[in-house]
Structure formats: C-alpha cells, structure tokens
Amino acid sequence: MSKAAEMLPRARIPYGTWGSSYFPAWQTSALAEVNIGQFAGESMNRIMGLRKVPTSEIEYLVIGSTIPWHWKFWNAPLVASCMGHRVPGYHVEQACATGLQAALLGGAEIQAGAHDVVGVLTFDRTSDSPVGVFPERRAHERTQAIADVWDNFGFDPATGNAMITAAGITARKYKVDRRETDDVAYHRHQQYFKAKESCFLNRVLVPLDVLNVQGRPLGRIDDDLGVRKLTHGGLRAMRELDTCVTSGTQTHASDGMACLLITSKEKAQELSPRPEIDIQFVGKTETRTQPSLMPEAPAFAVQKLLDRIGLTMADMAVVKNHNPFAVNDVIFSQLLSYDWRKMNNSGCPLVWGHPQGPTLTRVLIEALEEAVDLGGGYALVFGCAAGDVGIASVLKVS
Amino acid sequence: MATALRETTLQTMGLGSVSDILQRGQLPVSQDDLVDRVFGNSGARGSLVISGANGIVGAGKTMQLGSRLQPFDVKVVALDFPGAPDGIGQQYPGLIQAFGREGADRIMRNIIRMNYDGKHLPAELKDLKPRFLLEAIPEILEVKKAHYKIFRDAFPKIEIRSVTSGFPSSELGVGIAHPAFPHQINKVWEVVEPEPSAITQLLWAMGLIPVPVSDHWSFILDVLFCGVTLAGARYHLNNNMPYWKIDKFTRKLLGPNPFRAHDAIGTKGATFLTWSCLHHLNQRYGELFRPTPDMEERKETGQAWYPPNHFRPLVDWSLDGDDYHEFRAWVLGPLFQMTSLMLHEKRGHLSHLNAIGELCAQFRRGIVAVIRDYGPETVVQTVEAYHRLFPAAAGGAWYPNAFDDMGKPEWQQLYVNAEHNGNIGVITISRESYSWEVDRELNRAIDWLKRERIDRVVVTGDFHLSTQMVGADTSEFFPTLKSFDEGYKITSGWSATGRRLHDEFDTSVAFVNGKRCLGGMLELLAHCHYLVSVDDAQLGWPEVTLPVVPGMEGCHWPLRKARPEDWPRLLHMLLTGRSVRAGDAVGWLVDYAGPLEQALRVAWKAANGADHGLPLRNVEADALRGVPTDVRDLPDPDGPGMEIARGAIMQCVQAAAASNLANALTVQAKLAAEFLASAACREGMVGAEHARTMAV
C-alpha cells in the first residue's frame, strides 16, 4: 500500500461503531409515517446499544439531512435528546453529498481538538416530503409551493433542467451505450444480492421495529423494500426516460438513517470491538462541473483527489460510490480507466435506493466493512450531488 | 400462646399474636385508649401537627390521619410556609370520592391550616395543645434538627416523628414514621423507635400498617425502590436502552416500573428523594449505591424520565437470549446485593422486608420471596455476574452469607404463619392474594401443625399486613393462558390444599376479619368446617367479571354445604360476581357473622369445640340433584367475555355437582383450567394484564 499523508491525523473511525437502517423505498414502510429526526435519534441510540457503545460517550453530534422535518429548527440537540443524551451539535446539508460531508465534518471536529467522540447521524424521509410555501412578491406567481423532493428533482433552478435530464445530457456527451448502462444495472443488482446472501449486509444494516403512538408495532424496517431482481431482458425492455436512463438504471427515493462515530485515536481503541483496526481519513475534495453534467463530476473529484494525495486507482482496495444513474459508473470507468465491475462490490444506491442524507453514510460504512474483509487498504468513497457537484474521499484501513 | 412456626409480625409492635387475639376475644389495644394516650383524654385533647403539610407526603398524610382522627375530635394542624402551593386543597376531590361531600367537609373542618416562617411558630398553635408532630419538611438534616428544636422549645413534651426517607433516627434525634406512596391511601409506615410506642400502636389500631425497622440510613422501601431505579439507570448508562423500555422489562421481571413512578409522583421531587437516599447510602456503603449522572441532572432540572407525549417512543427495543440474561444481572444483581446488606444488618422481620416490596414498590412478589425462589447459589451467582458488569459494586456491602438461613421458617414462611397452644392451631395468611407461594407455605403450615398433633385450627388473616383477602393473584394465571397443564396444576393443586383444611382437621374454622374476602380466598376458607366473619365483610366470587371460572371448588363446594333453596343465591353470586355482606349470608355461606369481638369469641369457641351453638353444615358427598340450570333475574352481562364465562361457570357447576365429592375436584379443576386456556380468558383482564406485563 502506498503511503499518503493523513488529512485529519487526530481523527479515527472506530471499527464497528456504526450502523444503518435498511432503506425501504418511499411510501412502502412505517418510515413513511414517522418524524424522521426522532426515528434517527432513537435508532442511533439503539444501534450504539447493539454495538455496546454507551451514548453517554458521545460529546457532540453532527446531523445531516436534506428534507425538512418536523421541529428541524431544534437541530442536532433535539435529535440528541431523542437519542437519550443531551449534547450540542449542528446540522449539515449538501444534497446527496451530505452523508459523506457530515462524516468529514465530524472528523474536523476531532481534528480541531474540540471533542474526542463525535456522533455522525444522517437521515431523510422522502415519503410525504413537506411542501414549502414561499411568498416571493417579485415573482409573477407571487407565492410558490414546492414539494421538497419531487419539485427539486425536477428542476435545477441554476440550469432549468431536471436531474434526469442532466443524466441524459451527460450520457450523450460521453456517447454512453444504453446496453452498457443496462449491464451496469444488472451487475450492480447481482452484487447487492450476493452481498445480502453472504450476510455481509447484516454487519451494516440493523432491523428496527417502529411503534405507533399507542406503543404497538407499526412495522419492522428489515429490508430494502423496492429492490427487485432484474434480468437482462427486463432491463433491455424498459422504456428510456432520457438517454440511457430507465427505471432500472436509476435509483429510487427511499427513507432511512445511518450513523457512525468519529473519535480520537485513543477513544477509537477504547470503543471499537476490534481496536486493532485503525481507520483514518486520507483526503477529500469536491469539484463542480459544467451545467447539467452532474454524472461526470464525481470522476473529476476523484481524479483531483488522487492527484492531491499522490495515489492512483491501483492503490484503491475498495471503490464505492453514490450512483443515482448507471451512467455515472460508465463515465467514471471511461475517465479513470477503471473497470466498473471492480467497484461497488456489496451494492450501491443505484440498487438499494436513495434517501438522500444517509446515502453516502451507508456507502462509507459498507466500504469500510469491505476494506476490513480485505485485510485493509485504501477505500475510495465518492458521489455526485445536486448542483453538478462531485465529492470524493479516501480513507485508510489498516 | 406457646409455640409458633416463626415470630408473628404483631410481636414486632408489642401486640402479641393472632392466637392471643382469638383467645382473648379482643384486639390487644383499643383505638380509644391509644388516642387518649397519644393526644390526651376527651375534653382535653391535644392536636396533631403536620409540618410541610402542603407537600406530597404532608398533604397525603393530613388526609389519611385527619380522616381517622376526626371522629375522636383530634385537631390536625397543617403547618407550612405561606407561599407553599396548596397541596391540601388538591386532596379535596379525592376525599369527597372516599367519604362523600359531607364526610369530606367534616374532615376538612377538622384541619386547621397555619403558616409559619420556619423560625417562629404561630402563637395560636399553643391553644391547640400540640401533642404529636409529624414532620414532613425537606430532606435537609440541619433544617430538620432546627425544626425539632423550635417545637421542643415551645412544647417540651411533644412526640415527634419524621417521615424522612433517608436519615436514621440516631442522626435526627427523633423517631421515624416513614410512609409509602401514594400517601393518601398507602397504609404502610416504616417506623423506627427503641420500643414499640403508643403512636405506632395507634397507627395499627386505626387500620394502618406500621412496620418496625432498624435504625439505618434509608429504610427498606427506599433501598428497594431507589435500588431498582438505580439498577435501571445503570443499565441505561451502559446499554442505552431508554428508560421507558427498561421499565417494561423491569415490570416483566419483578413488577415495578420505577421511572414511570418517578414521573407520576413528580420527577423533580421524586428524583431528588431517590438521589438523596442513594447519595447517603453511597457515602456509607460505597459504589453499589452511587447515583448515576442522569439522576444528578434530573433532580436539578426535573426533566421527566419518559419522553414527552409528542415524542412517544418510536423505536422499540428487544432483549433476547444473552442480552436478557445480562439485563437480569444488571437489575437483580444489585437488588440481591442490597438485600444481603439489609439482611446482614437485620433491618426488619423477613415478612416485613418482603411485604414492603409488594405493598409499596409494585413488586409482584417481595424481594425475599424472589430470592428464596432462585435459591442461594443462583442469587450469589447473579450478584457475581453483576460484579463482572460493574466491578465497583464488588467493593463492599456484599454479604453472601446472609442467604445461608434460607431453609429456616423465617425464610420459608413469609406469607403464612402457624401458631398453637397445644390444642388449637392458628394459621395466619399475611398476603391479600393467593399464589403458589402462599399455597406452598400453607401446606407447610398444615404439615407443621399435624406434626405438632394439632387437630383443631383457625385460618385467618394476620391482623397486620393483610387487611383484606382479595382472591387469587391473577399473575399466577399468565402461564395458564397457553397451557391447560399449567392451569390444571393450579386448579387441582390449590383445591387439594383447601381440602386439607377440611379433611385433615377435626375442626377447622375460617375467620374473616377484614373488609372483604373474595374469589380464591373465599373458596379456600369455605373448605373449613365453619366460616365465621365480621358482619360487614363483603364476600363474593368476582371471577366471572375477569372472566375466569372459580377454580378452587367454588362451583360446587358451597352448594354441597347449603340447602337446595339457597342454591340460587350462591349461583347468583357466581354468575354476577356481586358480593354479599357477611351478615346477610349467615346460614347458607357463613356460619356466624357479628361484631369483631363477638365473632372472635365464636370462632375460638368453634375451634375449641366448646358450646358455640353453630350447626355444622355438612358437605354432601354424593352427587347433587336439582341444581338449577337457569338463574332468574340475572342482570345483562357487561360484555361477551362475561356471557361466555357465565356459560362456562354454569357448565362447571352442573358437572361438578353431578359428580360425587371424590370426583368433583377433578371435574371442576379440568373445566376451570380449560377456561383459563380459552380465548375468552386471553381476551379478558387476565390476558390484557399478561400482554401489558409480559409481552414486552
């Protein structure tokens, strides 16, 4: 393994002090009926309990979400109260990059010496997303009502285009072949179901029982509902919504949460069930590409990051990304000369859905678990975000 | 009385034994005499002063004692700071509920509210001749001592008792009468005094339950209740489980839900008391009792232990296998260790130590009974497991040898005692509801009397801890909901015990001395040759309302003792669940009913074989013919469950009555057990309670 400088030398991710809910597709589970901030706080408490980490160890909480939720004004302290532990903290939001950015900011809190144990908790509920009413007297509509998830997906105010349009434009720019995106989607599903059958995902995902207000069972969140087994033929037959984009080659909206701890080195050894495993932040960067070319942005971010830290794709043991469109992976493969079959070995958001805030947190956790399985190495985690942004980070597992 | 299986609890108050009461035909002390002794003679009565009277304890006890002392013209002075919130006024609606408006007004008229500044007593107080101060002011030692000094300076002969939940008498310099929550209605008082005093005996004579305990920091109830709270809080600290869920598992394991109780009482005040108790115990006994940081915080902030309504719990927690074992160690370990300390310090009669948990801290079974059930080896292993989880607790206050005497009668007869004078035995039951443990202890008591060659026996309450007999402990039915065999064990086993009272003694007399005798307890006592009762006791079989089928031979035994013309009355009781006044049931259910002292004398005569004048109602051994299959004038059932139960009870009556006495036990036991495992029972109160308690 080549050596690279550490980005946040004081910060560590203690192995095994993490977890994620399953990500049921929107409107398919009890999560469609809850205050997702409360659910996230209580779930993190439950997950930390299962991981034998007392939440009283957490000194600070960074939360990440992108969709407004009831009482969001009260921010991380409220979510911490739902966790059963009163600590300060703040909220971070960067569209689909939130899940990775929150973890990096948690690391920055440690690096700054402000705390020794920071909780990172990301969550979102796309189901029944709130409708915001925006009085804007200058606008000819005077007042606009925006359904937070779907109206934003459908319209980038900076370009006037929808997300899906950006995928189509980028696919055309790179002359992506529809058959290849279908192949990517098929392969990604195969990877996911293989990981599921091998019980790999059981180390990441925690079944959670949701109660109604009477305290009776409302539903069990124990599957990535909405994930279907696809066939080549089925993918081929799907109607193209834009160039190389079908319902099978794009992700779907879902609900969920994910969390992990970022700590000092000493605390990592104290809290991790396997203290011999050391997980460090190596580097991070972001790029913004041309208008409506979002799917290429992550590749640029990765290239920029590798240049900055002096590593190559050959140094990466694990490569995993947030890929709302199969187009993303094809373009990444072209730009970085990296076989898309070698990445996303345990599944990816293209398959298991996209609850926005926690998506890249789950990607990160799965990447770290995979790196541990491989005996260590560099893990590259990256993805795109609204605004034609790409984010990438490398972590070292040793 | 020459011999007893173990010391009677009455003896701890200097009140002798139940046998003495029966033999003398009167209670050992009278309320009138004791009121005179404590407050002075009629016409020159002094008053009771309750300081801190607007607090939770003060206001509750103002009501409880005020309602009992008003008929004796003892004024109750409710003393507090001028700005104290009106705790007494809040009690008024409850008082009306209990005594009616007229009675409530009469009691309130007898309460004289006075203000003081904490340093000077009101001049008018002197006119009321204070004789007894019950201090219920905040738990600050120096403040309490200064308070006593003010009173002693003004009224040198005044008797003082503190309601403190933590300070020993030796620190306070006064006796202690520490009551249990809810203070308006809970009758239990832990008392600390060198010798049983007139005040303690007066509490008993007024129908309350004083329980003498030793003079140590914190009392039995507080150690148990604060202990189980601390155990839960410590589990939370290490495993994150929310308090509401810890409550549910604790309730399943033991009975209490301590965090809900703190919120119900008032989080800030209750948590302060818990913290204060633990803080002092921690200082004296070490880490076993150290309060958690959450307790420190909540005593200051008053933040509720449960989430607010708008954040009702959303994510459930489960405990399986090893996790549940670990939970048990976290909760039972410290409780067992704390109990070892209390046993080592001989804090009280074991039946008291056991009963306090049941009567005051929601324990389904008292801690001593729980420990006895586990056995010494498992108990020690549990504490050791706890020490592995929380090593600091191993540093002190751990006395494994305290469990060495578990085979002795003091341990083995927590609920049932037996005494005899060489001729007549007396079996006393000190638990209001019948359980497997009562059943086993009753059998041991019978065995002991038989070994002592006693052939005449009186079966009654203990005149102390059980002030009534309410029937079977329905939590014993939980296993029966899914298993006929478990139900049959109960219905056949408990019935067989009842028959021993009939078959193994030449004469057995049941004596009902409390307000009511219901359900399984009435079935049990009905097995005796004679049933004697105070005349205003309520007797009944409310099983049909649960619904269950009376399983201790209630469906045929009383019929076998009654004339055919009385059968409809018995059937009416069984099918409606309505009770009957004992005085109205003479001749067909009861053999004698009268005022207490007369009833005591009749019971003793009947046991003695003296000229008691009671005709013996024989039990018909053959099949009964002509038992009505229909009862007229039954009110409409209050639901489908009751309707089904009526059918099942009638079927049981007919089948058991149609059998001879030898077979009837089996017939009834099978049918009652079948009903316990039926959908109607699962959907009724037993099933609902099971779901609330066990389906966590």
Closest of A103, A84, A89, A90 to residue A45, by C-alpha: A84
| Residue B509: its H or E element | strand B507-512
If you write DSSP's letter for every residue of A235-250 in order, what string do you get?
Answer: HHHSPPSBTTB-SSSB
CATH, residue B231: 1.10.1040.50
- Domain end call among B409, B434, B451: B409
Instruction: Report the residue of chain A nearest B242, measured CA to CA.
Output: A84
Cβ partners under 8 Å of residue B595, min gap 6: B534, B535
> Do the chains contact at A45 and B237, CB–CB below 8 Å?
no
pLDDT at B343: 98
A256: phi then psi, degrees, rounded to nearest 5: 165, -175
Please report residues of B whose CB lies closer than 8 A to that of A39.
Answer: 314-315
pLDDT confidence bin for B612, thresholds 50/70/90: confident
Coil, strand or helix: which one is B523? helix
Q: Kindly state whether residues B317 and B368 are assigned to the same domain.
A: yes
* Interface with A, mutate which of B240, B245, B251, B330 (most A CBs under 10 A): B240
Instruction: Give the residue from A291, A259, A270 showing the smallest Cα distance to A387.
Output: A291
- Mean pLDDT along residues A293-302: 98
d(Cα B637, Cα B645) in Å, to the nearest integer? 10
Residue A2 pLDDT class (50, 70, 90 cuts): low
What is the rounded average pLDDT for all residues in chain A?
96
Report the candidate in B306, B218, B225 with the shortest Cα–Cα distance to residue B267.
B306
Of A38, A46, A56, Cβ closest to residue B237 = A56
B237: nearest CB among A53, A54, A210: A54
Do B241 and B360 belong together in one domain? Answer: yes
B26 located within any domain:
no
Does B24 map to a domain? Answer: no
Yes or no, beta carbons of A84 and B312 under 8 Å apart: no
- Whether residue B239 lies within 8 A of chain A, CB to CB, comes out as yes
CA angle (B122, B127, B130) in 5-degree steps:
80
Query: Using CA of residue A88, residue A94, residue A100, residue A105, what is the dihedral sign?
Result: negative
Q: How many CB atoms lie within 10 A of CB B374?
A: 17
Locate the DSSP E strands across A108-173. Answer: 117-125, 131-135, 143-147
Instruction: Identify any residues that bridge with B47 across adjacent strands, giving them in sequence order.
Output: B130
Mutate which: B309, B314, B330, vs A, most A CBs within 10 A: B314
Asked whether residue B25 is assigned to any structural domain, the reply reads: no
Is residue B576 located within the same domain as residue B445? Answer: yes
Shared domain for B489 and B616, answered yes or no, is yes
**Tell me, what DSSP letter sits at residue B420?**
E
Q: Over 60: is that where the pLDDT of B1 sits?
A: no
Structural tokens at position B217? 């920091």
A260: distance to nearest CA of chain B, Å? 16
Count of CB atoms situated within 10 Å of the CB of B24: 14
Q: Residue A67 forms beta bridges with which residues?
A: none
- Give me B624's structure tokens: 């009964």
Residue B314 lies in a domain: yes
CA–CA min distance B270, chain A (Å): 20
Helix axes B376-389, B321-344, angle to 10 degrees: 110
Structural domain that includes position B58: 40-212
Q: What span, in angstroms and rounded, lies between the C-alpha atoms of B581 and A33?
A: 54
| Dihedral in degrees, nearest 10, Cα atoms B299, B304, B306, B309 | 180
pLDDT in tens, B437-491: 999 999 999 999 999 999 999 999 999 999 899 999 999 999 999 999 999 999 9
- The three-state secondary structure class of B139 is coil
Q: Which residue of A has its CA nearest to B695?
A: A216
Statement to judge: residues B175 and B226 lie in one domain: no
Residues B85-102: tens digit of each pLDDT: 999 999 999 999 999 999
Closest chain B residue to A21 measured between Cα atoms?
A: B315
Strand pairing category for B471-472 and B433-434: parallel
- Indicate which CATH number applies to the domain containing B687: 3.90.226.10
User: Between the CA of residue A119 and those of A19, A20, B398, B465, B640, what are the distances in Å?
Assistant: 12, 13, 38, 52, 53
CA angle B13, B14, B19 (to 5 degrees): 105
- Tell me: do B44 and B158 sit in the same domain: yes
Q: How many domains does chain B have?
A: 3
Q: What is the pLDDT of residue A398?
A: 95
Residue percentage of chain B with pLDDT more than 90: 96
Do the Cβ atoms of B215 and B169 come closer than 8 Å? yes
Domain CATH for B207: 3.40.50.720
Amino acid at the residue B335: L
**Binary contact (A82, B311; C-beta < 8 A):** yes
Segment B22-28 shows an average pLDDT of 96
Distance from CA of B316 to the nearest CA of A (A): 5
Q: Say if residue B519 is in the same domain as residue B560.
A: yes
Whether B260 and B355 have beta carbons less than 8 Å apart is answered as: no
Torsion of CA B144, B149, B152, B158, to 10 degrees: 10
Q: How far apart are CA B42 and CA B27, in angstroms?
A: 21
- Asked if residues B602 and B592 have their Cβ atoms less than 8 Å apart, the reply is yes
Residues B573, B611 within the same domain: yes
Neighbouring CB atoms inside 10 A of A135's CB total 8
CA distance B317 to chain A (A): 7
In Å, how far are B414, B436, B464 from B460, measured between CA atoms? 15, 18, 11
pLDDT of residue B644: 97
Supply the pLDDT for residue B321.
87
pLDDT reading at B172 higher than 90: yes
* Inter-chain contacts counted by CB atoms under 8 A, chains A and B: 54
Q: Which residues of B touch A55 (CB under 8 A)?
A: 240
Cα–Cα distance between B184 and B199 in angstroms, integer?
A: 19
A34, A35, A49 member nearest B240 (Cβ): A49
- Residue B32 falls inside a structural domain: no
Q: What is the mean pLDDT of chain B?
A: 96
As a whole number of Å, the CA-based R_g of chain B is: 26
Question: What letter does residue B129 receive in the DSSP assignment?
Answer: -
**Residue (of B304, B367, B331) closest to B233 by Cα position:** B331
| CA atoms of B662 and B656, how far apart (whole Å) | 10
Q: Cα–Cα distance between B233 and B239 in angstroms, integer?
A: 10
Burial of B282 (0-12, 13-18, 19+ CB in 10 A): middle
Q: Tell me the average pLDDT across B375-404.
A: 97
What does DSSP say about strands A131-135 and A143-147: parallel, antiparallel, or unpaired? antiparallel
User: How far apart are the C-alpha atoms of A216 and A225, rounded to whole Å?
Assistant: 22
Asked if residues B501 and B446 have their Cβ atoms less than 8 Å apart, the reply is yes
Chain-chain contact of A39 with B237 (C-beta, under 8 angstroms): no
**Residue B196 preceded by cis peptide, ω within 30:** no
Q: Quote the tokens at residue B289.
A: 């009792």
Question: Which residues in chain A have their CB less than 8 angstroms from residue B236's CB?
Answer: 84
Closest chain B residue by Cα to residue A52: B239
pTM: 0.94
* Residues B261 and B340 reside in one and the same domain: yes
Q: Is residue A237 classed exposed, middle or buried when 0-12, 13-18 and 19+ CB atoms within 10 A define those classes?
A: exposed
At A140 the pLDDT is 82
- Residue after which a domain boundary falls, among B183, B212, B241: B212
| Interfacial residues of A (vs B; Cβ cutoff 8 Å) | 34-35, 38-39, 42-43, 45-46, 48-49, 52-56, 82, 84, 208-211, 213, 215, 217
> Which residues 315-334 of B are in CB contact (within 8 Å) with A?
315-318
Q: Which residues 6+ apart lie within 8 Å of A216 measured at CB?
A: none
> What residue has token string 């990447």?
A367
Is B1 part of a structural domain of the chain? no
CB-CB under 8 Å, B239 with A49: yes
ipTM: 0.94
Report the pLDDT value the prediction gives residue A138, as an integer from 0 to 100: 83
Q: What is the pLDDT of residues A94-103, one digit of tens each?
A: 999 999 999 9
Q: What pLDDT does residue A3 have?
A: 66
Q: What is the pLDDT of residue A1?
A: 56
**CB pair distance less than 8 Å for A211 and B312:** yes
A70, A82, A257: which to substitute to probe chain B, counting the most B Cβ within 10 Å? A82
Which of B238, B316, B318 has its CB closest to that of A54? B238
Compute CA B195 distance to the chain's CA centroid, rounded to the nearest angstrom: 24
For residue A378, the distance in angstroms to the closest alpha carbon of chain B comes to: 33
Does B618 contact chain A (CB < 8 Å)? no
Tens of pLDDT, residues A159-182? 999 999 999 999 999 999 999 999
Give first-to-last CA distance, chain A, whole Å. Answer: 10
Q: Tell me the domains of chain A and their CATH numbers.
A: 11-129+205-222+251-271 (3.40.47.10), 163-200+280-392 (3.40.47.10)
- A294: three-class secondary structure by DSSP: helix
Contact A252, A226 (CB under 8 A): yes
Residue B195 sits at φ, ψ, to 5 deg, of: -135, 155
Q: What would the two tokens of residue B386 be?
A: 């706890």
CA A265/CA A277 separation, integer angstroms: 11
Asked, for residue B94, whether it belongs to a domain, the answer is: yes
CA distance A183 to chain B (A): 39
pLDDT at B518: 98
- The answer to whether the CB of B343 falls within 8 A of the CB of B402 is yes
Same domain, B205 and B225: no
- By residue count, chain A amounts to 398
Owner of token pair 């009260």 = A74
B180 lies in the same domain as B275: no
| Residues A121/A79, Cβ–Cβ less than 8 Å | yes
Chain B residues inside the 8 Å CB shell of A34: 314
- In percent, the amount of chain B with pLDDT more than 70 equals 100
| Domain boundary residue, one of B352, B375, B409 | B409
**Distance in Å, alpha carbon of B412 to nearest chain A alpha carbon:** 40
Per-residue pLDDT band at B611 (split at 50, 70, 90): confident
Does the pLDDT of residue A37 top 60, yes or no?
Answer: yes
**Closest-CA distance of chain A to residue B190, Å:** 36
> Do both B261 and B307 map to the same domain?
yes
SS3 call for A149: coil
Computed from CA positions of residues B546, B551, B552, B553, in that sequence, does the dihedral angle turn out positive or negative? positive
- Identity (one letter) of the amino acid at B692? R
Element (H, E) at A77: helix A75-83
- Cβ-defined contact of A46 to B238 (cutoff 8 Å): no
pLDDT band at B692 (very low <50, low <70, confident <90, very high): very high
What band does B633 get if pLDDT is binned at 50, 70 and 90? confident
Closest to B240 (Cβ–Cβ): which among A54, A82, A217?
A: A54
Residue B381 predicted with pLDDT over 90: yes
